[in-house]
């Protein structure tokens, strides 16, 4: 039985009286976002959170995501929920219209995201990481990367991750050792990452990993860190999926909670012997942002 009920009255009161909803809706670019429309969106989101996400929360917690031979199967119902979540346009709601999102004001999307988090945190993390990657690419990626990756990520056909943490580099990212070596129009990325939220799963056709790594001539410390985009499947010029990239999920964590969200250990560029379809060479990536 679903127990989640979104505090709609409190949310709308706070948005109107404290957050200045009317003034934000009057800003250029938000002319179509009327207070009535915002109320309707929140009501629909509350309905979805109570009807779809909250009932899955316990399944996610009890069953959890399962790892087998490098693949991760989400808890029962998560796959179908992700498909309906994206079909209903919830994934790209805060993203720019240019990439297929709805471009709603952050004040509105924050309230809706709060409903996903309260009703099913494990599920919501997949969207959160995807939107984080979308924002990073939109702000720092080249036009070519934006054209190739943003639309499918906003639509939720591809999801995103952030690959920062390494066994010896948590809070202290200056200690990270992953490497990126230039080769033609791309880089060969290698290294091991841990604790990667939704780092592997089969809910989407592709997973776009944003990976922190060092160039060969990088200075020590944080100033020597660059960001690389390493998709699970390489993407052809026409946007179709190409060969499997040389990266693998070697395990997922056994955590005390949020079992529905796979927290992956990732290996980049050293699994050539594991499968004929995975190249023995190191992972191909494109620079998303390089210092």
Ligand X SMILES: Cc1cc2nc3c(=O)[nH]c(=O)nc-3n(C[C@H](O)[C@H](O)[C@H](O)COP(=O)(O)OP(=O)(O)OC[C@H]3O[C@@H](n4cnc5c(N)ncnc54)[C@H](O)[C@@H]3O)c2cc1C
Residues that bind ligand X (CB under 6 A): 161-165, 170-171, 195-197, 263
In the complex, minimum distance from the CB of residue 239 to ligand X, in angstroms, rounded to a whole number: 26
Asked if 157 contacts 204 with a C-beta cutoff of 8 angstroms, the reply is yes
In the complex, minimum distance from the CB of residue 152 to ligand X, in angstroms, rounded to a whole number: 20
In the complex, minimum distance from the CB of residue 21 to ligand X, in angstroms, rounded to a whole number: 32
Nearest residue to ligand X, scored by beta-carbon proximity:
170
In the complex, minimum distance from the CB of residue 190 to ligand X, in angstroms, rounded to a whole number: 17
Of 198, 259, 263, 197, the closest CA to residue 61 belongs to 259
Nearer Cβ to ligand X (171/240): 171
The pair of three-digit structure tokens given for residue 6, joined into one six-digit string: 């979104």
Measured over all CA atoms, what is the biggest interatomic distance in the chain, rounded to whole angstroms?
A: 60
Nearer Cβ to ligand X (48/195): 195
3-state secondary structure 2-13: CCCCCCHHHHHH
In the complex, minimum distance from the CB of residue 217 to ligand X, in angstroms, rounded to a whole number: 24
Nearer Cβ to ligand X (74/103): 74
Q: What are the C-alpha distances in Å from 255 to residues 73, 127, 165, 259, 264? A: 16, 20, 16, 7, 11
Nearer Cβ to ligand X (140/274): 140
Nearer Cβ to ligand X (64/100): 64
263 beta partners: 197
Measured distance CA(66)–CA(34) in Å, rounded: 43
The pair of three-digit structure tokens given for residue 35, joined into one six-digit string: 């207070």
Nearer Cβ to ligand X (120/165): 165
In order, the DSSP letters of 29-57 are T-TT--HHHHHHHHHHHHHHIIIIIHHHH
In the complex, minimum distance from the CB of residue 123 to ligand X, in angstroms, rounded to a whole number: 14
In the complex, minimum distance from the CB of residue 75 to ligand X, in angstroms, rounded to a whole number: 16
Nearer Cβ to ligand X (155/252): 252
Measured distance CA(13)–CA(6) in Å, rounded: 13
């Amino acid at each position: 039985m679903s127990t989640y009920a979104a505090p709609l009255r409190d949310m709308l009161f706070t948005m109107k009286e404290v957050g200045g909803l009317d003034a934000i809706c009057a800003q250029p670019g938000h002319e179509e976002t009327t207070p009535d429309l915002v109320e309707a969106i929140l009501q629909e989101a509350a309905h979805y959170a109570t009807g779809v996400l909250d009932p899955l929360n316990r399944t996610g917690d009890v069953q959890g995501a399962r790892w087998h031979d490098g693949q991760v199967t989400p808890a029962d119902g998560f796959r179908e929920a992700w498909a309906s979540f994206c079909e209903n346009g919830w994934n790209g709601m805060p993203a720019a219209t240019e990439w297929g999102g709805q471009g709603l004001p952050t004040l509105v999307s924050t309230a809706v995201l709060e409903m996903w988090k309260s009703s099913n945190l494990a599920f919501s993390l997949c969207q959160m990481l995807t939107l984080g990657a979308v924002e990073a690419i939109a702000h720092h990626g080249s036009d070519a990367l934006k054209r190739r990756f943003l639309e499918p990520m906003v639509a939720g056909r591809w999801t995103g991750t952030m690959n920062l943490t390494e066994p010896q580099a948590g809070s202290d990212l200056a200690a990270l050792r992953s490497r990126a070596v230039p080769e033609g129009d791309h880089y060969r990325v290698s290294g091991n990452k841990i604790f990667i939220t939704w780092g592997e799963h089969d809910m989407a056709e592709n997973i776009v990993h944003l990976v922190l790594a060092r160039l060969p001539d990088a200075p020590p410390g944080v100033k020597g860190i660059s960001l690389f985009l390493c998709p699970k499947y390489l993407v052809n010029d026409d946007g179709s999926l190409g060969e499997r990239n040389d990266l693998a999920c070697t395990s997922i964590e056994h955590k005390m909670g949020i079992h529905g969200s796979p927290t992956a250990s990732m290996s980049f560029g050293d699994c050539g012997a594991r499968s004929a379809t995975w190249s023995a060479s190191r992972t191909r990536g494109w620079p998303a942002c390089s210092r």
